[in-house]
Amino acid sequence: MQVLIIGAGKVGFQLAATLSRESYNVTVIDKKHEVVDRVSEQLDVLALHGTGVSAGLLKKARVSTQDLLIAVTDSDEVNMIACMTGKRLGVGRTVARIRDPEYAEELGFDKEDLGIDFIINPERAAADEVTRLLTVSVAGHVEDLASGRVRMVEMSLDEGVDIVGKEIGELALPDSFLIAAIARDGRVIIPRGDTKLCAGDIIYVIGKSKSVDEFFSAIGKYKPGIRKVMILGGGRIGYYLARNLVSRGIRVKIIEKDPFRCEELAEALPDVLVLNGDGTDIDLLKSENVTTTDAFVAVTGYDEENLLTALLAKRLGAKKVIAKVSRPSYAPMAETIGVDAAISPRLIITGDILRFIRGGKLLSLFIFLGGQAEMLECIAQPSSPGVGRPLAQVDLPPNTLVATVIRGNEVIIPRGNTVIRPYDRVVIFAPVAESPKIAKTFGI
Amino acid sequence: MNHALVLRSLGFLLLLEAAAMTIPLGVSLAYGESEYRALALAALLTGAAGAAMYLGGRTSVEGFGYREGLAVAALGWVLVAAFGALPFYLGGMFASYVDALFESTSGFTTTGATVLVDIEAQSRGLLFWRSFAHWLGGMGILVLTLAITPIAAGSTKVFQAESPGPAPTKLVPRIKDTARILYGVYFVLSLAEVVALSALGMSLFESVTHTFGTMGTGGFSPRAESIGAYDSPAIEMTVVVFMLVAGTNFALYYRFITGDRGAFWEDREFRAFLGIMLVGTALVTLNLRHLYYDSLLEALRYASFQVASILTTTGYTTADFDRWPEFSRAFLLLLMFVGGSAGSTGGSVKVIRIILLVKYAVRELHRKLHPRAVMPLRLGRTTVPESVLSGILAFFVLYMAIFVVSTLLMTLEGLDLLSAAASVAATLGNIGPGLGLVGPAENYAFISAPGKLLLTLNMILGRLEIYPLLTLLIRGFWRE
């Protein structure tokens, strides 16, 4: 499959890296020389210098033979025009990153006219993610699969939890429930019955939504619904997040430094209290009752500020703190220093784009642990090597786990003797590098 | 300041007034009254003055600035009132020109305060002119000029200077077309009221003059007992409906006709306006129930009429509300400071300003709790700019300052405090009848000439919403 990526910023680079590791032939266009140099040095892709709106350059990149064009430059307009031009020159499908709320909301009905097949909006995706974290009622990071019938939760274990120090085999786990993976010291472990759970572990559990909720209420991590949220940073993520939360009846305060942005926000969000000030100002945080807030979400443009103020808020008494972290190297650290969850818009939309590329066969996909591991959901194809024989005999890569099988309305936690049938939906937990092998195993 | 252009515009305004005088002239001739001579002479004098100013001025390519707009609005209103007094003076209605000026100004500013002692003895031609002034002044004499004249340059400024409310809006791209639409709506609604009143048995002459008084939210009646003279619930309720119609923003009718079905209900000011009307009627009805009227229905009948009349600043009466219980009197006096909607023919502070002032105050309370909060003031879905807010605040301060100073001056006249305050509230708010010595059963005739001039000034200040007239007094206004 031929993929053309326009713009090799954070998202473009990550995409190029992920796709080139799989069986995709990737061409990258960027207008900065040093970026082009870096891409061709580090990745096995074709890197071209120039602007993606130029038809000449697109032709040079043999756009008519490309199956997919992904426009992820800084500029919404460039992305739109690149898709339009690409479409006219005969590219297969197009993906554009569009961040401006005005565009993103109004393009819904005329994106076909612009030749855009799929719009990604990183800020909105990040806000939706945080909304899910805050409103789904178990502690930790939550993903819903198979239209909500299957739930996966990422949670860090701290001292107090009574399953710490026990072996997984000793635990009374509910039906259709599995501890799929453990992240310890930044490495992924696929646990077995004799694996001991330690404080500081991040566990990934998967199962029927009901069973997952049961498990968390049994260990006392089922948290009451939140009512008050404080958001630091009134950028686009802050805006989308506030809008999401208000529509669910949650009281929201936003702290933003720029007075003009404050006015814009206050106009756009009538039910939100917009405060003009610095998030590191303890007096401001205290006088606005950070001590009793249910959640504090730091989404400014600076990772360091987000992490530090989130910790500060936690120390002042905020029940749950979430920080936006753009740098992949910070993400794993965030949760070890006490931030309840770190979100990275880049990883989220990389997942969204990969999901779009793989189309109907890989239904849902999320990346964890700063890009080390991912959750795949696919439909097993007939006559593929993974189908028709007990799982124990299927040749899967190391550290890979078939976590759930969904057959019709049935949710199955597979064992060694489980046989996957054609058209079963299979949820697999695997290191990112192994996804091509897995795709082959299930005939995708 | 472009004097030549201002002069020409003012001249045109007087020519228009002279033309308007020919209508009562026709009425007078039709009824075979001798006062037609006074009307003809007044029309001639006004026309001659207008022609002289028109020819003395020049149309200039530079057009109107903001100053010219304010000057034309302020001076235009003074001139129109001054020349409009001529028929009354020449026709022998009043012995003194000051009385005639008071009556004329009260007409054009849609106040409806009268110095006429024996109304029913007057000739129909002059009574027609007195009421017709309400109709012309209600929607605005300058807006009328804009609708029918070829003068286009700078007309937005004139429109803004005369239109009631904090931020007049255009309905269509051109101000001339906006003015025509407004007058069109005004004309059709007026026609509807004439038909309704005639159908209820009122004579054509009285239907027309009462319509002028209702639609302009004026209050002059050819009958001494006002609408109360008919003692007909049907007529009273018809007038209540049309008073409320006139107190509503006329832009809403246009938006409704052009397909915006939610125009009325989505408008916060309209909702508040109706809310004040309903709550006010309920309170006054309950207050009146036992004391004055046999049944709740009777109390409701008189209360609703009086609340609508004072709220819309019309000033028609069906009962001597000065003899109502204290609560009702106090409530009606306070209503005098509310007024109609922006963009209506009603006067006083306007409902929208009251809403925004209240919201402003509430926001300051919230600010004590959250000193760093950014809280724009919104009205429905739109945000009100801070500049509009500070304008409203300043307007309210000036309005109350004029009220206080004028009340003090009126007490020097020998009026008691209540009568003095009510006389100023009723003229500054363009309402008409006040309380006490200037109550609905009384009139303003007993006040001395300086007192009448002060109240006349209050009427014009109120109608033009203070700024056009006051800015003329600032020295910088006349400098280049």
* pLDDT per position as a tens digit, A341-379: 888 888 888 877 876 776 545 555 566 666 677 777 777
For residue B40, pLDDT over 60 is answered with yes
Q: Which of B18-27, B120-129, B290-299 has the lowest mean pLDDT?
A: B290-299
Query: Do A284 and B372 count as a contact with CB atoms less than 8 A apart?
Result: yes
Phi-psi region of B339 (alpha: psi -120 to 50; beta: other; left: phi over 0): left
Judging contacts by C-beta atoms under 8 Å, the chain A residues touching residue B383 are 267
pLDDT of residue B247: 93
Q: Residue A288: its chain B contacts at CB < 8 A?
A: 370, 372
Q: What average pLDDT does this structure show over B293-311? A: 90
Percent of chain B topping pLDDT 90? 62
Average pLDDT, chain B: 89
pLDDT at B83: 96
| Nearest residue in chain A measured CA to CA from B380 | A270
Identical fold for domains A2-120 and A138-218, yes or no, is no
Chain A residues contacting B via beta carbons under 8 Å: 259, 262-263, 265-267, 270, 273-277, 284, 287-288
Q: Which residues of B touch A273 (CB under 8 A)?
A: 370, 373, 375
Yes or no, beta carbons of A276 and B376 under 8 Å apart = no
Contacts of B386 in chain A (CB under 8 A): none
Tell me what pLDDT residue A360 has: 45
d(CA A205, CA A340): 17
The band of A435, judged by pLDDT with boundaries at 50, 70 and 90, is confident
Interface touch B372/A275, C-beta < 8 Å: yes
Contact A263 B378 (CB under 8 A): no
Q: Does domain A138-218 correspond to CATH entry 3.40.50.1360?
A: no
A265 contact residues in B (CB cutoff 8 A): 374
Q: Do the Cβ atoms of A48 and A23 come closer than 8 Å?
A: no
Q: Mean pLDDT throughout A5-18?
A: 88
- Computed over every residue of chain A, the mean pLDDT equals 83
* pLDDT value, residue A14: 85
Interface mutation vs chain B, best among A258, A261, A264, A273, most B CBs within 10 Å: A273
Q: Which residues of A touch B375 (CB under 8 A)?
A: 266, 273-274
Report angle CA A89, A94, A96 to the nearest 5 degrees: 120
For residue A287, give the chain B residue with the closest CA: B370
Report CB contact under 8 Å: A263, B373.
no
Q: Which segment of A417-421, B308-312, B365-369, B471-475 scores lowest on mean pLDDT?
A: B471-475
List, in sequence order, every residue forming a beta bridge with A298; answer none if it has no partner. Answer: A232, A323
Residues of chain B positioned with their CB less than 8 A from the CB of A270: 378
- Residue B195: the pLDDT is 96
The distance of A274 to chain B (nearest Cα, Å) reads 5
pLDDT of residue A179: 85
The domain made up of A126-131+224-346 is a member of CATH 3.40.640.10: no
The answer to whether residue B162 scores a pLDDT higher than 80 is: no
Asked if residue B145 has pLDDT above 80, the reply is no
pLDDT of B17 higher than 70: yes
B268, B366, B372: best mutation site toward chain A, by most A Cβ within 10 Å?
Answer: B372
Q: Which residues are CB-neighbours of A302 under 8 A, at least 6 positions away?
A: none
The architecture that CATH gives domain A2-120 is 3-Layer(aba) Sandwich (3.40)
- Which pLDDT belongs to residue B419? 94
Residue B359 binned pLDDT confidence (cut-offs 50, 70, 90): very high
Alpha helices in A320-434 (DSSP H): 331-336, 345-358
Contact (CB<8Å) B376/A273: no
Set of chain B residues whose Cβ sits within 8 Å of the Cβ of A274: 373-375
Contact B374 A284 (CB under 8 A): no
How many angstroms separate the CA of residue A262 from the nearest CA in chain B? Answer: 6
pLDDT greater than 70 at residue B61: no
**Domain locations along chain A:** 2-120, 126-131+224-346, 138-218, 347-442
Q: Which of A254, A256, A267 to mutate to test the interface with B (most CBs of B within 10 A)?
A: A267
- Which string of DSSP letters, residue by residue, matches A370-395? GGTEEEEEEEPPTTSTTSSSBGGGS-
Chain segment A264-314, per-residue pLDDT in tens: 999 889 889 999 998 888 888 888 888 889 899 999 989 999 999 999 999
**In the numeric block, which tokens belong to residue A50?**
């120039």
Token pair for residue B163?
């239109």
Q: Please, which residues have CB within 8 angstroms of residue B426's CB and are 6 or more apart in sequence?
A: B111, B113, B315, B336, B432, B433, B434, B438
Residue A357 C-alpha, separation from nearest chain B C-alpha, in angstroms: 40
Residues of A in contact with B378 (CB under 8 A): 267, 270
Whether B132 contacts B20, CB under 8 Å: yes
Residue B14 has a pLDDT of 94
**Chain A nearest CA to B327, separation (Å):** 38
Whether the predicted pLDDT of B292 surpasses 70: no
pLDDT surpassing 80 at residue B206:
yes
pLDDT score at B85: 96
Tell me which of A426 and B328 has the higher pLDDT.
Answer: B328
Q: Is the pLDDT of residue B154 over 60?
A: no
Global ipTM: 0.70
Q: What is the pLDDT of residue A414?
A: 84
pLDDT tens sequence across A36-87: 999 988 988 999 998 888 888 888 888 888 888 999 998 989 998 999 899 8
Please tell me if residue B203 touches chain A, with a CB cutoff of 8 Å: no
**How far is the CA of B197 from the CAs of A332, B218, B232, in angstroms?**
81, 17, 11
Closest CA to A397 of A384, A386, A412, A382: A386
Q: Which of residues 358-397 of B touch A (CB under 8 A)?
A: 370-376, 378, 383
A347-442 is classed CATH 3.60.21.10: no
**pLDDT at position B73 over 60:** yes
Nearest chain A residue to B377 by CA distance is A267
pLDDT above 70 as % of chain A: 90
**Token pair 């880049």 is at which residue?**
A346
pLDDT at A137: 55
> Looking at chain B, which residue has its C-alpha nearest residue A270?
B378
- Does the beta-carbon distance from A277 to B378 stay under 8 Å? no
Q: Which residues of A touch B372 (CB under 8 A)?
A: 275-277, 284, 288
Q: Which residue of A has its CA nearest to B375?
A: A266
Are A263 and B374 within 8 A, CB to CB?
yes
B210-258 pLDDT tens trace: 999 999 999 999 998 999 999 999 999 999 999 999 999 998 999 899 8
Residue B313: pLDDT over 90: yes
Give residue-wise pLDDT tens across range A141-169: 677 666 567 778 877 787 777 788 888 88
Structure confidence by residue, pLDDT tens digits, B335-357: 999 999 988 898 889 999 999 99
* Residue of A263, A272, A278 to mutate when probing chain B, most B C-beta within 10 A: A263
Question: What does the pLDDT look like over B415-467, one tens digit per residue?
Answer: 999 999 999 999 999 999 999 999 998 899 999 999 999 999 999 999 988 88
3-state secondary structure of A23: coil
pLDDT classification of A171: cutoffs 50, 70, 90 = confident
Task: Note the pTM of the prediction, 2 decimals.
Answer: 0.77
What is the interface size between A and B, counted as CB pairs within 8 Å? 30
A278: closest CA of chain B, how far (Å): 10
Asked if residue A139 has pLDDT above 60, the reply is no
Query: Which pLDDT belongs to residue B305?
Result: 96
Residue among B371, B372, B376 minimizing CB distance to A263: B376
pLDDT at position A221: 67
Indicate if the pLDDT at residue A101 is higher than 80: no
From A263, A270, A277, residue closest to B372, measured CB to CB: A277
Instruction: Inspect the interface and report whether the beta carbons of A274 and B378 lie closer than 8 Å.
Output: no
Is it the case that residue A338 has pLDDT exceeding 70? yes
SS (HEC) of chain B:
CCHHHHHHHHHHHHHHHHHHHHHHHHHHHHCCCCCHHHHHHHHHHHHHHHHHHHHHCCCCCCCCCHHHHHHHHHHHHHHHHHHHCHHHHHCCCCCCHHHHHHHHHHHHCCCCCCCCCCHHHCCHHHHHHHHHHHHHHHHCHHHHHHHHCCCCCCHHHHHHHHCCCCCCCCCCCCHHHHHHHHHHHHHHHHHHHHHHHHHCCCCHHHHHHHHHHHHCCCCCCCCCCHHHHHCCHHHHHHHHHHHHHHCCCHHHHHHHHCCCCCHHHHCHHHHHHHHHHHHHHHHHHHHHHHHHCCCHHHHHHHHHHHHHHHHCCCCCCCCCHHHCCHHHHHHHHHHCCCCCCCCCCCCCCCHHHHHHHHHHHHHHHHHHHCCCEECCEEECCEEECHHHHHHHHHHHHHHHHHHHHHHHHHHHCCCCHHHHHHHHHHHHCCCCCCCHHHCCCCCCCCCCHHHHHHHHHHHHHHHCCCHHHHHCCCHHHHCC
